[in-house]
Amino acid sequence: MDRLTAAIQLRESGKLEEARSVILELLQERPSDASVWYQCAWIHDALGIEREAVPFYKKALQLGLTEEERKGALLGLGSTYRTLGMYDEAQSLFVKAIQEYPDRREYQVFHAMVLYNRGEFRDAMAVLLKQLAETSTDEGIQSYKKAILFYSDKLDQTWS
């Protein structure tokens, strides 16, 4: 088994420190492998050392990832920026990710969290209500989908 695959399996099984050791060794051996940089970022996030994850995400994106890994790295970096209180960076990254991958709803949801953190509550609620109405299979939500979508960006409006 490839050592990168082994490190991923260690992370997935909760052996985070062991996974981190393997991935840091791999990083020394394969410094131009974007996937190793991405997995290194991921393990740092999983360990709760987000600030250390940032340069690994940035390097992975710079080196060029597969499309699926790129999608994950954009989400990971944006989410990490948000948890570090770097809201402008998170905002910029999620706007870019939404433009690049408009069908990936997870970017919308994480962007809504950033909007909330920035005090843009109306916009955050609008995004979340639209995502809820468009993705929920709940019968009650679906029966009111049209109303939820209509009101999603009119929460402050009243009618007489």
Buried b (16+ CB within 10 A) or exposed e, 38-70: bbbbbbbbbeeebeebbebbebbbeeebeeebb
What are 33-48's pLDDT values in tens digits?
999 999 999 999 999 9
Tell me if domain 1-65 and domain 87-160 are identical in fold: yes
Task: Tell me which of 1.10.760.10, 1.25.40.10, 3.40.50.300, 3.40.50.1820 is the CATH number of domain 87-160.
Answer: 1.25.40.10
Predicted TM-score (pTM) above 0.75: yes
Q: What is the pLDDT of residue 80?
A: 96
Question: Considering the domain 1-65, what is its CATH architecture?
Answer: Alpha Horseshoe (1.25)
Domain extents in the chain:
1-65, 87-160
